[in-house]
Amino acid sequence: MKDFIAKFVNSETVTKEVGDVSNFKAWLEGGFQLDNIPQAAIGELIEMVAAAEEKTKIALIDLTRLLMLHEASAAHILYKHWETFDISIFQYLTCVDITDAKNKVIHNYHLVSLKMLGNIYQTPSGRDFVGEAEHSEQVIKFCEYSFKSANPRTVFAAAVLLFSHVLTFKGDFRSINAALQGAMMGII
């Protein structure tokens, strides 16, 4: 993963669309320590997620999935960069055909996105963030949409995500009941 991401970091795409990612490069070359990534490097990573395509986007989201396991990086990613995930994951995937079993890149992208979202529940900041009604509803609706996937692994990952969400949700369920009912109908 590290070598694949390093190639992208030094690519013309990053130079043109993101610009200088010196903080991310320094972190990458300085040991790739997941529990010690500077916030500036996270910001550059999220910008690269937005600019990347296909396999590179999958690798960057997978790296983000790993960063979600650490309190400091999870809090920064969620509270500062959630809008990018809304655009790069939720909105993007709802515009593509997830019922086409032959589109492996989309299915892998969808699957790694669900796994990344699943790691939100691994930190207190993540559970607090997704406990907010607006974010909670986004996750539930994404699960509902994911149940339509032609990939059984994606459907399973969505079910695990929804189950984790319901188990850890600390807010008032009345605020998300409509979304939960929609997800249950999606399962049926």
pLDDT at 90: 85
> For the chain (length 188 residues), average pLDDT per consecutive 10?
87 91 94 92 93 91 95 95 87 90 93 95 94 91 94 95 91 87 85
Query: According to the model, what pLDDT value does residue 79 have?
Result: 95
Task: Report how far apart, in Å, the C-alpha atoms of 185 and of each of 162, 180, 181 are.
Answer: 13, 9, 6
Residue 91: the pLDDT is 87
Q: Rounded to an integer, what distance in angstroms lies between the CA atom of residue 2 and that of residue 62? A: 11
pTM of this prediction? 0.89
CATH of the domain at 64: 1.25.10
pLDDT of res. 139: 93
What's the pLDDT score for residue 177? 87
Q: What is the pLDDT of residues 37-76, one digit of tens each?
A: 999 999 999 999 988 888 999 999 999 999 999 999 999 9
CA 60 to chain centre: 10
Residue 47 to residue 6: CA distance in whole angstroms: 15
Assigned token pair, 100: 């086409």
Provide the 8-state DSSP code for 51: H
With beta carbons less than 8 A apart as the criterion, state whether 140 and 91 touch.
no
* DSSP classification of residue 174: G
Question: What residues make up the domain containing 68?
Answer: 2-187
Q: The tokens of 98 are what?
A: 């997830």
Q: Report how far residue 98's alpha carbon sits from residue 50's, in angstroms, rounded to the nearest whole number.
A: 20
Cβ(46)–Cβ(63) below 8 Å: no
Domain count, the chain: 1
Q: What is the pLDDT of residues 96-106, one digit of tens each?
A: 999 999 999 99
Check residue 6 and give its pLDDT.
87
